[in-house]
């Protein structure tokens, strides 16, 4: 299974009043990861826009595990989980320069027609492009 990776340096303007990276910066990092994932599968935003469609985010969930501070470096990994007919779950793992997980996140995304905002199902050719990035995990059962 393939994953897209990105690295980010933490700058002073990303620090909030609590002296760690602001939560909005995490959303920006997820956006970069999602766009890099689309580029990796050969569907950059400019390409899909020429088709009259655009990717959107319908939901975001972030679990923060430890703070990130000025001077840290963050590595983001992105891949797909559930890949339905009209939407997909993008999963993210963010770690610091020491390899410690700082956050995990998911976003539900889909493509919509630019003209009317209606969901669009991807054709088989496009779905095949995403296949290497799909990781289906079996849920852990606790009895």
CA atoms 45, 49, 51, 54: torsion sign: positive
pLDDT, tens digit (0-9, with 9 covering 90-100), for 113-126 = 999 999 999 899 98
pLDDT at 10 over 90: yes
8 Å CB contact between 49 and 114: yes
The predicted pLDDT at position 141 comes to 46
Is the pLDDT at 142 greater than 50, yes or no?
no
Instruction: Please check whether residue 87 is in contact with residue 72, taking contact to mean a CB–CB distance below 8 angstroms.
Output: no
How much is the average pLDDT of 13-33?
95
The contacts found for 121-130 with CB under 8 angstroms, 24 or more apart, are: 121/85, 121/86, 126/43, 127/83, 129/41, 129/42, 129/43, 130/41, 130/80, 130/83, 130/88
pTM for the model: 0.90
Segment (H or E) for 88:
strand 87-96
Q: Which domains are present in the chain?
A: 4-8+25-133 (3.10.129.10)
Mind listing the pLDDT tens digit for each residue in 26-62? 999 999 999 999 999 999 999 999 999 999 999 999 9
Copy the structure tokens of residue 70: 């000025």
What is the average pLDDT value for the chain, to the nearest integer?
92
What is the sign, positive or negative, of the torsion defined by CA atoms of 99, 101, 103, 107? positive
State yes or no: pLDDT of 86 exceeds 90. no
- Calculate what percentage of the chain has a pLDDT beyond 90: 86
CB 106 within 8 A of CB 61: yes
């Amino acid at each position: 299974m393939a994953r897209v990776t990105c690295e980010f340096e933490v700058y002073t303007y990303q620090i909030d009043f609590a002296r760690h990276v602001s939560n909005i910066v995490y959303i920006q990092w997820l956006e970069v990861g999602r766009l890099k994932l689309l580029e990796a599968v050969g569907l950059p935003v400019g390409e899909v826009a020429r088709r009259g469609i655009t990717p959107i985010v319908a939901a975001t969930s972030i679990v923060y595990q430890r703070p990130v501070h000025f001077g840290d470096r963050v590595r983001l990994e992105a891949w797909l989980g559930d890949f339905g007919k009209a939407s997909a779950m993008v999963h993210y793992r963010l770690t610091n320069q020491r390899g410690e997980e700082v956050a995990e996140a998911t976003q539900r995304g889909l493509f919509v027609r630019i003209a009317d905002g209606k969901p669009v199902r991807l054709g088989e050719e496009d779905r095949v492009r995403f296949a290497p990035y799909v990781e289906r995990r079996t849920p852990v059962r606790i009895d």
